[in-house]
């Protein structure tokens, strides 16, 4: 039980800015960390739903709420996954050979393609929220999506080859109990898929399929261009997975209404 509690604390300490008690980062304490990774998505989803309800109650307009909802995940996570998105954008856009791409991932400087990607990414989120922020069912589907993306990201860390044996992802994978963690994340995904479809059958189904499609592409891209996954690639996937679910939900919300 103590190991589970420590894994919970380490997951939140690593992947969010939410204050938690400290725990020593040992193999014993980290082996179930990815079982709790999706619960950071739970926090993001609940805070987003609460913000949408409060904005509606107080009479805030769509633009203000859309900006707030776009920024909220960054405030909760500290932007750790967006950092991976931007690093990966620079690496992919370089069209260099594999070794050089991996070096670019580790470069802390932001290139032109990272800046462009950031602009497009946040504008797409803003546009998506402007269509769905006052639609309860659509917002619930997107809220579940923050958990789905983290389940799939965790599965990627556990199941995909590692591009660097000395990287953060490789280190986390070595300390993880792969089989129980993998099975737990799969169970989460089954439950989340059912909840999304129950919330709104068309939007829920489409959003979950979009997430699965992005995961398939992520696996292909990581293997083809990097020889496996890294922490930055995991962040790239998580960001695009969540955005894909939001965009699909927004488009279907317009079509269905």
- What is the per-residue pLDDT across 43-62, written as a single tens digit (0 to 9) for each? 999 999 999 999 999 999 99
Least confident of 9-23, 34-48, 111-125, 167-181: 167-181
Whole-number Å distance between alpha carbons of 139 and 136 = 5
Mean pLDDT, the chain, integer = 88
Whole-number Å distance between alpha carbons of 217 and 132 = 26
Helix (H, G, I), strand (E, B) or coil at 159: helix
pTM of the model: 0.93
pLDDT tens for 62-104 read: 999 999 999 999 999 998 899 889 888 888 777 777 777 767 6
pLDDT tens for 229-249 read: 888 899 999 999 999 999 999
């Amino acid at each position: 039980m103590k190991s589970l509690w420590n894994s919970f604390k380490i997951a939140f300490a690593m992947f969010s800015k939410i204050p938690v008690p400290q725990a020593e980062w040992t193999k014993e304490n980290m082996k179930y960390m990815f079982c709790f990774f999706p619960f950071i998505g739970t926090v993001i989803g609940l805070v987003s739903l609460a913000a949408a309800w409060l904005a509606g109650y107080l009479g805030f307009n769509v633009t203000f709420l859309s900006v707030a909802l776009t920024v909220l995940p960054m405030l909760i996570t500290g932007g750790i996954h967006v950092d991976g998105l931007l690093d990966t954008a620079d690496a992919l856009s370089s069209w260099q050979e594999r070794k050089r791409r991996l070096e670019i991932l580790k470069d802390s400087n932001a290139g032109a393609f990272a800046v462009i990607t950031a602009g497009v990414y946040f504008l797409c989120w803003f546009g998506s929220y402007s269509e769905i922020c006052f639609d309860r069912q659509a917002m619930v589907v997107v809220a579940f999506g923050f958990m789905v993306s983290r389940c799939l990201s965790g599965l990627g860390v556990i199941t995909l080859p590692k591009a660097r044996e000395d990287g953060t992802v490789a280190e986390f994978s070595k300390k993880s109990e792969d089989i129980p963690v993998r099975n737990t994340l799969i169970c989460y995904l089954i439950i989340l898929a059912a909840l999304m479809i129950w919330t709104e059958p068309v939007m829920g189904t489409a959003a979950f399929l979009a997430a699965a499609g992005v995961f398939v592409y992520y696996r292909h891209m990581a293997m083809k261009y990097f020889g496996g996954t890294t922490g930055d690639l995991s962040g790239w996937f998580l960001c695009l997975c969540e955005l894909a679910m939001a965009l699909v939900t927004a488009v279907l919300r317009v079509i269905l209404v």
